[in-house]
Structure 1
């Protein structure tokens, strides 16, 4: 297990959580352009971080 990749995945998970907060805030203000970008950021960073953590913990 490489520590650098694991730490980077945790940092990207924090970015994904912040994107989730931004998504909820922008839905409340009905700014749909920002909802698009916040949703895309949440999906991209969330998927990357979860899959990286999964592959680091359960590498075969």
Structure 2
């Protein structure tokens, strides 16, 4: 279950980079979907770390 934190965090980082790219290109739909994805997967990442703990290295 702890590997799920890593996957959620990677998706959240990709959503952050895509949102910044959409802001540079002034792509409104990209900004909306990027922020939505960042919010959802960022929240899942934070809550999974709080409830399941950080994955061991």
Count of residue correspondences: 53
Specify the alignment match of 2:45 in structure 1.
49
Normalising by the residue count of structure 1, what TM-score does the alignment of the two structures yield?
A: 0.83
- The answer to which structure has the higher helix fraction is 1
What residue ranges of structure 1 are gaps of 5+ in the alignment? none
Is 1:26 the equivalent of 2:38?
A: no
Q: Bigger radius of gyration, 1 or 2?
A: 1
Question: 1: distance between equivalents of 2:14 and 2:23?
Answer: 14
Calculate the aligned-residue CA RMSD, in Å. Answer: 0.7
Whether 1:38 aligns to 2:34 is yes
